[in-house]
Each structure stands twice: as C-alpha cells, then as structure tokens.
Amino acid sequence: MTGKALPTVVDAETWQRELDALRAREKAATRELDAIAAQRRRLPMVEMPDYTLRGEEGPVKLAEIFGDKSQLIVYNHMWFPDKEWQCPGCTGFTSQFTRQEFLAAYDARFVIVTQGPIDEALAYKRRVGNELPWYSTADSPFGSDVGAPPGGGFAINVFLRDGDTVYRTWHTNGRGTEQLSHTFALIDTLPYGRQEEWQDVPDGWPQSPTYSRWPSSKEIAAWYGTEA
C-alpha cells in the first residue's frame, strides 16, 4: 500500500450502480447546459462603436479583426505594465488553443486582445509560444468597454459582424471561462480532481493551495516558446 487515501474498493455490480446514479446527474447537467446555450442564442445584442485596435500589421478596425468571418471570440488577456511575466492563468488558458481551423466551419475566429502595447504583447506571445492572433487595446477604450480595463481582470467576449457593424453578443469572466477550457474538464474526471483546498473531497484526499498546481508563465514559455 502507498499510504495515500484511495477510493473505496467494491464489486463490479456496486460500482456500476454508483456510476449509473452519477451518470443520471451528469446527463441532467448536460441537458441544463444545452438549455443555457439555447438561452444564450436568444440573447439580444448591443451595437459597438467603430474601435481601432493595433495588430501585427498596424492599426486595425474591430470589424476587420473578423477577417472573412461573421463571428468573433475575444479573450481579453490581463496585462501588467513592466512585468516580465504576465498572468499565468491567462497565459496557461490561451496556450491550450494551438489550432482554430475547426472554427472556420462555423464562420468564427478566436483572438486575444490585451491592454499591453502591441510590440510588447507580440514579444510576449512569442516568448510563451502562443498560437493565437494578438491585438492591443492600449490606445483604445475597447478593453474598458467590454469588461477588461487597464489593470483589470480577464474576460471573454463574443461579437457578431453584419457588414461593417459589430455587435456584442456575450460576455463572461472568472470561472465562467472554464467551459472553454479542456484542461479542467480532463482534470475533473480524475479521482483526486484538481487537488485544490476549496474543493469538496473525501477525508484524506490530497489538497493544495488554490493555483499552486497551475504552471507559471515562465514554465509555459520553457515548454512552448522562445524560452525553450
């Protein structure tokens, strides 16, 4: 025995019965998420001003960031001026998305917008090996207007373009971003889960301070970026 706390060992019939009971709750949660998505599709929208951001090629209108797509997902990446390493949560979350061709079939694009000056933002993108397109709202009120002001937190915003007019259709932040992450979805299937101290676990389960198992931005750069 390893001395580590373990789930109770039962016979296969008992295990299947317990799994079936859990599956009923999982299916109910799936149906509720479907209902939430249906409500999200019925949300009204708000027209956005004609913002100008900065990209790798220079100034760019918000409508132009869509490219030839009509839908746009924006991750508003936290930015701390004069810091060598930016938010590890933002860095880790966005590092998961290395390919977005699958979005093309749904007439959509996924980009990062940050408050950092574009040259610094692009340098950071390269350092940590991020694969998404980056834009800067440092000289634009866009970030503040969509819940990600200078010195503020992260956010996800979704937009719809009709011709040259852009509308904001959805927003979330905090743990609302988890639905777009595959990392926590995978970890939550494990017997020990996230192993963070806030979680409801059986006695003896390993638990650590919240965020302590998250990789640092420096580690991510060593894995994927120019720091490797």
Helix and strand numbers (H, E) in the chain are 8, 8
HEC-encoded secondary structure of 164-209? CEEEEEEEECHHHHHHHCHHHHHHCCCCCCCCECCCCCCCCCCCEC
State CA 172 to chain mean position distance.
Answer: 10
150: tokens are 């200078």
User: Is residue 218 exposed (0-12), middle (13-18) or buried (19+ Cβ within 10 Å)?
Assistant: middle
CA 160/CA 58 separation, integer angstroms: 23
C-alpha distance from residue 78 to each of 31, 127, 190 (Å): 33, 16, 29
Contact call for residues 118 and 54 (beta carbons, < 8 A): yes
pLDDT at 129: 95
Domains of the chain: 46-178 (3.40.30.10)
CA 62/CA 164 separation, integer angstroms: 9
Contact call for residues 165 and 87 (beta carbons, < 8 A): no
pLDDT at 2: 66
Show pLDDT as tens, one digit a residue, over the chain (228 residues).
567 899 999 999 999 999 999 999 999 999 999 999 999 999 999 999 999 999 999 999 999 999 999 999 999 999 999 999 999 999 999 999 988 899 999 999 999 999 999 999 999 999 999 999 999 999 999 999 999 999 999 999 999 999 999 999 999 999 999 889 889 999 999 999 999 999 999 999 999 999 999 999 999 999 998 854
86: tokens are 């930016």
For residue 6, what is the enclosing H or E element? Answer: none
Give the neighbor-by-neighbor strand order of the sheet with 58-61: 46-47, 165-172, 155-162, 71-77, 108-114, 134-136, 52-55, 58-61
